[in-house]
Amino acid sequence: MCPFCSGREKQTPPEVMAVRTGDTQPDGPGWKVRVVPNKYPAFGPADGVLEESGHGHFHHTMNAIGVHEVLVSSPNHQHDLGDLPLSQVRYVVDTMVERYKANKTLSCVEYLLLIHNHGRDAGASLEHPHSQLFGFPLVPSAVADEIEGMARYRSEWGKCAFCHMIEIEQADAIRMVFENDGFATFAPFASSVPFETWIVPKHHSARFEEMTEINRAEFAEALKDLTSRISRGLNDPPFNFYIHTGPTKAAPALDYHWHLELVPKLTIAAGFELGSHISINVRAPEDAAEFLRSSLSGPDTGKSASPGCAQ
């Protein structure tokens, strides 16, 4: 039992949303997915006023206004997304979308980043499976760089880099892990770390929260599939995933292609990687994809063949 378990609702701040059965009451049992403000928020308050100092100098600072929510995946303390029924993963996806929509209109929120840490070594301080949504007053460089790179790509090639990437991955097939009508899961070419895997919508779309009902069902299937493959194939490693989507205040016509990036924690960045920003990936994505394609075949023993990427 932990603060995220059913029956312990009073140990968290009051819920801001929950998927509930029947006529059960807020902050009591009977929920399927529960969203609460983080008890120790990285950003807040949501109605704060942005204060900046030292603009243009080394010591440029701003206050950390915004939101920080916890999305508890299910009442089950043990089972993460790969082990939950597809119907439950769908509730989680619906909740993610609803919280994006609810927070994107906040004046202080320029970006909403949804992340999922699995395992203590991946930064999960509580074992009970949960995701976190951070809303903050700037666009992170990880996304700003992608937007800029995609604009450059379009001016050079006349098409979206991610749409083109999916065409290439489908043709090559060697890095592809899973596909349904709406999404492609693949190990990206020249990935930084072993078993890094992305889920990308096949249809060009800048924003995660604009998924249709059908897209949500397809995305839930792809998310359950990938987390199952990683957990079963690699013997339940720590991992992080995060969703890169368009900034909240960008023009409606923003040219971006949202996606999910999953990064297992099987190796550590050491002196060379930290000193050079060059990655040495000891498992080629082509090999990783082949391994993940076969990782759901055979009985679920909770054990797996060695992924062969220890350092």
What's the min distance (Å) between Cβ of 261 and Zn ion?
5
Of 189-208, which residues contact Zn ion (CB under 5 A)?
A: 204
Is residue 104 near Zn ion by the rule CB under 5 A? no
Secondary structure of the chain in the HEC alphabet? CCCCCCCCHHHCCCCCEEEECCCCCCCCCCEEEEEEECCCCCCCCCCCCCCEECCCCCCCEECCCCEEEEEECCCCCCCCCCCCCHHHHHHHHHHHHHHHHHHCCCCCCCEEEEEEEECHHHCCCCCCCEEEEEEECCCCHHHHHHHHHHHHHHHHHCCCHHHHHHHHHHHHCCCEEEECCCEEEECCCCCCCCCCEEEEECCCCCCHHHCCHHHHHHHHHHHHHHHHHHHHHCCCCCEEEEEECCCCCCCCCCCCCCEEEEEECCCCCCHHHHHHCCCCCCCCHHHHHHHHHCCCCCCCCCCCCCCCCCC
What's the min distance (Å) between Cβ of 310 and Zn ion?
27
Is residue 160 near Zn ion by the rule CB under 5 A? yes
What's the min distance (Å) between Cβ of 268 and Zn ion?
22
**Residue sitting closest to Zn ion (CB):** 160
Please indicate whether residue 59 is annotated as part of the active site.
no
Question: Which one of 27-35, 94-102, 152-160, 283-291 is the stretch in contact with Zn ion (CB under 5 A)?
Answer: 152-160
What's the min distance (Å) between Cβ of 61 and Zn ion?
27
In the stretch 50-89, what mask flags binding to Zn ion with x, by CB under 5 A? ---------------------------x------------
Is residue 136 near Zn ion by the rule CB under 5 A? no
Is residue 244 near Zn ion by the rule CB under 5 A? yes
Residue of 5, 17, 46, 139 that binds Zn ion (CB under 5 A): 5
Of 130, 244, 257, 259, the catalytic one is: 130
Q: Which is nearer to Zn ion, 122 or 163 (CB)?
A: 163
Is residue 151 near Zn ion by the rule CB under 5 A? no
Q: Which residues are catalytic?
A: 130
Residues that bind Zn ion (CB under 5 A): 2, 4-5, 77, 128, 160, 162-163, 204, 244, 257
